[in-house]
Amino acid sequence: MSSTLKENLNIVIRTLSLPEFKDLLNKLIEIYQSGYKGLEKYAYQKRHDIKSYLKWLYKTDPESFLVAFKNNRPIGFIAGCRFWQDKLYGEIGEIHELVVDKPFQGKGVGKKLLQETINNFKKDHDKIGLWVGEHNDQAIAFYKKMGFKVGGQVGKWLRMIKEI
Ligand code: ACO
C-alpha cells in the first residue's frame, strides 16, 4: 500500500438521490459481493437478500449513505444512521455497512468514507458504533487503526465503539 497510490486516489464521495440509488443498485450489489469475497459467513449471499438489505440501508438514513466514485464509477460505500438507539449508550451514530470493491481495497478508500461519516456524526454525538464479524481480521485491524475499541460481543459479532 504505497503513499503514491493514496495520493493518486482522486475519489469523490457523495450521497445519492433516490433515482440515482435505484440506477446504481446493481453496481452496489456487485461491490458488496466483490468486497466480501472470502468473508461469506459475515455477508448476505442471495442476490435478493443483498438487494433488500441495501434498500433498507439507504432508506434508514439517505444522508448517511455515502458512495465513493472514481472516474464516475462507484468503488465503495458506507451506510450509517445518525440517530441510532444503542442499549448501552443510548443515542449514538451507527455504521451499518462499509465495503470497498476488492481491487480498490487497501488504497485509502475505506478510510476516506469512514472519515466523512465521522465528520457528519460529530455535531450530534460523541460516540460511534458498529458490529463486525469476530474473525473478520482485516476489518477489525482497519477499525482499530481508525481508533475503534472492542466493547463487547454477541454471538459471532464484535461490538466496536469510537469516541469522536
Ligand atoms: N491490517 C492492518 N491494517 C489495515 C488492514 C489490515 N488488514 N486493512 C487496512 N488497514 C489500515 C491501512 O493500513 C490504513 O492505514 P494507514 O492510513 O495508516 O495506512 C487504514 O487501515 C485504512 O485502510 P484503507 O485502505 O482505507 O482500507 P480499505 O479501503 O481496504 O477499507 C474495509 C477497509 C472497508 C474493511 C475493506 O477492506 C472492505 O471492504 N472489506 C470487506 C468488507 C468488510 O469487511 N467491511 C466491514 C464490515 S463491518 C461493517 O461494515 C460495520
Distance between CA atoms of 126 and 163, rounded to whole angstroms? 6
Given a cut of 60, is residue 97 above it in pLDDT?
yes
Exposed / middle / buried, residue 32 (Cβ in 10 Å: 0-12, 13-18, 19+): buried
Residue 12 Cα to ligand 1 middle (Å): 18
Give the residue carrying C-alpha cell 433515482: 19
Tens of pLDDT, residue by residue over 109-163, are 999 999 999 999 999 999 999 999 999 999 999 999 999 999 999 999 999 999 9
Strands 12-14 and 73-86, how do they pair?
unpaired
Residue 133 Cα to ligand 1 middle (Å): 14
Residues near 154 by Cβ (< 8 Å), separated by ≥ 6?
131
Query: Considering the entire predicted model, what is its pTM?
Result: 0.95
Of 129, 141, 140, 135, nearest in space to 155 by CA: 135
- Provide the grid cell at 33: 459481493
9 confidence band (pLDDT: 50, 70, 90)? confident
Residue 49 Cα to ligand 1 middle (Å): 24
Residue 93 burial (CB count, 10 A): 27
Measuring from each residue's beta carbon to the nearest atom of ligand 1, which residues come in under 6 Å? 1, 35-36, 39, 95, 97-100, 105-111, 130, 132, 136, 138-139, 141-142, 145
Given a cut of 50, is residue 3 above it in pLDDT?
no
Residue with CA closest to ligand 1 atom 44: 139
Cβ distance 119 to 13 under 8 Å? no
> Which atom in ligand 1 lies closest to the alpha carbon of residue 107?
25
